Amino acid sequence: MRLLVTWLINAVALMALPYLMHSVTVTNVGAALVAALVLGLVNTLIRPLLVVLTLPVTVVSLGLFILVINALLFWLVAQLVAGFHVAGFWSAFLAAILYSIISWALSTLILKKDGDS
What dihedral do alpha carbons 6, 105, 42, 90 form, nearest 10°?
150
Domain of 50 in residue numbering reads as: 27-104
Q: Is the pTM for the entire model greater than 0.85?
A: yes
User: Is 62 in a helix, a strand, or coil?
Assistant: coil
**What's the pLDDT score for residue 2?**
87
- CA-to-CA distance for 68 and 13, rounded, in angstroms? 20
| 60, part of any domain | yes
Q: How many domains does one find in the chain?
A: 1
pLDDT digits (tens, 9 = 90+) for 76-96: 999 999 999 999 999 999 999
| 48, part of any domain | yes
| 117, part of any domain | no
Nearest to 52 by CA among 42, 39, 65: 65
Mean pLDDT of 96-106: 96
| 92, part of any domain | yes
